[in-house]
Amino acid sequence: MNEMNFAPFVIYPAIDLMRGQVVRLRQGDPKTPTIYSSDPAAVARRWLSAGVRWLHVVNLDGAFGERDDANQAGLLAILKEASQNKARVQFGGGLRSTESVERMLDLGVERVILGTIAIEESHILAQLISRFGPDRIAAGIDARQGIVQLRGWKESAPIQAVDLAKQLTAERVRWLVFTDVNRDGLGSGINIPACLELAKTSSANVIAAGGVKGPDDLIAARSAGLAGLIVGRALYEGSISIEDCL
């Protein structure tokens, strides 16, 4: 087993943006979003005022290759709230060029998450890590039954998640955001065994996402030695409180 770079455990409230609204999807299906707010800044303010130090923001329209002007405006509003509260933003979705990554970091995003580009153009990933450092460039591994998913989970890649994790850490990736697509948005509990497998076969800090059900998931993720947990629907619908998270 490789030596792991252990990081403090962090809870990341998720703010998923679609057409400028805060939503949650079930298993990544954009056809039936649950809309929680039309004011991303107010949602950010809610979590930040409770003491949250990180926010996880996703540009769903960008991930699906659609026009994302409204989401970009929402991100700017969230970044303003985060700056005022001395908090940080982790951002992903549709970042498929060096220019788009540079723009996000210039705007004030602390860490970007690269998915499709990290898999298909690993040389760009390596260049970005060399330029900005391994703590500002994370790789997203989204998997359905162990198989990596691309382009907003619309396509499958011919590689297992665990094998991709090994490849990415060879490229100096320090942070992996792992999502079990089959569990995402369903509240069926996080996939601890899959997360542990990634952590044990790589030297990366693993942040888990997909299927958080209740406080037991927070305890399980922390006890497993994961670096963090992204919480979405469970937080918005009250099966986990922000106090549980903190």
Is residue 158 domain-resident? yes
Does a structural domain hold residue 3? no
pLDDT at residue 117, rounded to an integer: 86
Q: What is the pLDDT of residue 157?
A: 76
User: Does residue 5 lie in a domain region?
Assistant: no
DSSP annotation of 163 reads H
Domain assignment of residue 131, yes or no: yes
Dihedral, CA of residue 180, residue 183, residue 184 and residue 190, to nearest 10: -70
Instruction: Record the tokens describing residue 58, joined without a space.
Output: 């996703």
1 in any annotated domain = no
91's tokens: 């951002």
Please give the residue range of the domain that contains residue 175.
10-245
Q: Which of 61, 142, 180, 217 is catalytic?
A: 142
Q: Is 69 one of the annotated active-site residues of the chain?
A: no
Q: How many domains does the chain have?
A: 1
Taking the CA atoms of 54, 154, 144 and 137 in sequence, report the sign of the dihedral they define.
Answer: negative
Residues shown for the chain: 246
Question: Does residue 2 belong to any structural domain of this protein?
Answer: no
The answer to whether the beta carbons of residues 23 and 34 sit under 8 Å apart is: yes
The predicted-structure confidence for 164-219, as pLDDT tens digits, reads as follows 999 998 889 999 999 988 766 556 678 899 899 998 888 899 999 888 888 999 99
pLDDT number for residue 121: 86
Indicate whether 59 belongs to any domain.
yes
Q: Which pLDDT score is estimated for 113?
A: 96
Read off the CATH number of the domain in which 228 is found.
Answer: 3.20.20.70
Note if 216 is an active site residue.
no
Residue 198 in any domain: the answer is yes
Active-site option among 16, 61, 68, 217: 16
Q: Which residues of the chain have pLDDT under 50?
A: 1-5
> Cα–Cα distance between 59 and 22 in angstroms, integer?
10
- Could you tell me where the DSSP H helices lie in the chain? 40-49, 60-63, 69-84, 98-107, 116-120, 122-132, 161-170, 192-200, 215-223, 233-236, 242-245
Question: What pTM was estimated for this model as a whole?
Answer: 0.91
